[in-house]
Amino acid sequence: MKNKILTLVLFICGLAVSALTGCDSEEKAAVEYIIPVVNRCNEPFCFDDYFRKVKTVYLRSDNEYTAPTMISDIYFIDSYAFILEISDRRLSKIDLKKGKVVNQIRVKRNQCVLSGDKDHLYLLGFGNKNIITIYDLDLIPTDSLELKNVSVSSFSRIKNGFIFLNGRETGNRGRYVITNSRLTRAVSYKKVGAPYKPYKKNELISIAFSEVFIKGPFGRILCYDNENQDGYLYDGEKLKRLFHIGTDVTDPEAVPLKNTQMIYSLKGNRLFHYYNEDFTDGVAYFDKDDNLVAQGPAYDSIKEGLFRYTYRQVGRKLVRIRMEKAEDRGKDPNNTTYAQIDFYRLK
């Protein structure tokens, strides 16, 4: 009986790894994904061909709180979304069932990246000190932590601690730094040896806008280094390189992809979002056999304008957030849609 239970547990754990990574084995070699940029497709990527929309939430305004107009970062917990706005220094709690803001606080301008778990939010502030402010789900600050000797550009809460993307490799600090919950013990992984250049303010904000980490089951997390365009799997014990994103341009000066980010990964199927050198955007979808099956603009930027969408993976769902332009919101402030949040599942 014990052997049957053990076999069942091992089988379930194996399914969890496969669902997140799509790897049949831990030893599977890293994949080289190639995104065409010379003869790029101009037909918009059709999400409905590969994803099924399961829910739409319309974020509307009321007189009590100011509705968000721009997303710097967003985090989902149960039936709530927490939206961080750097420009207006606001953190808003959105009730997804009601479609409205139910709580809101002011934050510091240098607080740029948001993470969380089932009980708390973690807001990372950059500057001379890397400070994590901890909030409960009512947006009441409960504690703060300081991470020393690491040049942080993003982070995520993981089981029993945090994982940080380190912008500068020095001494015993690699690209990724894993710590315990109190930041008193750190383990460094993967020294990639890339030359360090100090981030300018606008570059740092751009990195903060990107989703660098995607959480999976059993404490596993996919990590995307958007500077070197490499993807890694952290399984709770070690870090393994899974893929690299390349293009069909061999001259590094001519590569037009900007701010590439991984926005979805499930059972080996992966979706990437990027910007071309003319600031038009694109989406590239690779199936579980590592084939590029679809590519194209995420939307019509001529009609809708640039930078209209934000993407996040929440469990098995892909979330696509469309912020409404001011001129499209209507004249009635109490009956105005500020954002449309669509939830998709992989077909």
pTM of the model: 0.85
The whole-number average pLDDT for the span 32-41 is 81
Looking at residue 49, the DSSP 8-state letter turns out to be G
- Going from the N-terminus, what domains does the chain have, and what CATH number goes with each? 28-346 (2.120.10.30)
The whole-number average pLDDT for the span 212-225 is 86
Residue entry with tokens 């973690």 = 122
Query: Over the chain, what is the mean pLDDT?
Result: 81
Q: Which residue, among 139, 60, 138, has the nearest Cα to 97 in the 3D structure?
A: 60
Separation CA 159–CA 325 (nearest Å): 38
Hey, which of 8-17, 40-49, 224-233, 262-271 has the most confident mean pLDDT?
262-271
Judged against a pLDDT cut of 90, whether residue 145 lies above it is answered with: yes
Separation CA 51–CA 343 (nearest Å): 9
The whole-number average pLDDT for the span 2-28 is 41
Lowest mean pLDDT among 5-14, 115-124, 132-141, 292-301: 5-14
pLDDT band at 196 (very low <50, low <70, confident <90, very high): very low
Q: Are 242 and 32 in contact (CB under 8 A)?
A: no
pLDDT band at 115 (very low <50, low <70, confident <90, very high): very high
**What confidence score (pLDDT) does residue 62 get?**
76
Judged against a pLDDT cut of 60, whether residue 12 lies above it is answered with: no
Report how far apart, in Å, the C-alpha atoms of 343 and of each of 94, 117, 294, 301, 336 are: 15, 20, 20, 21, 21
**What confidence score (pLDDT) does residue 131 get?**
95
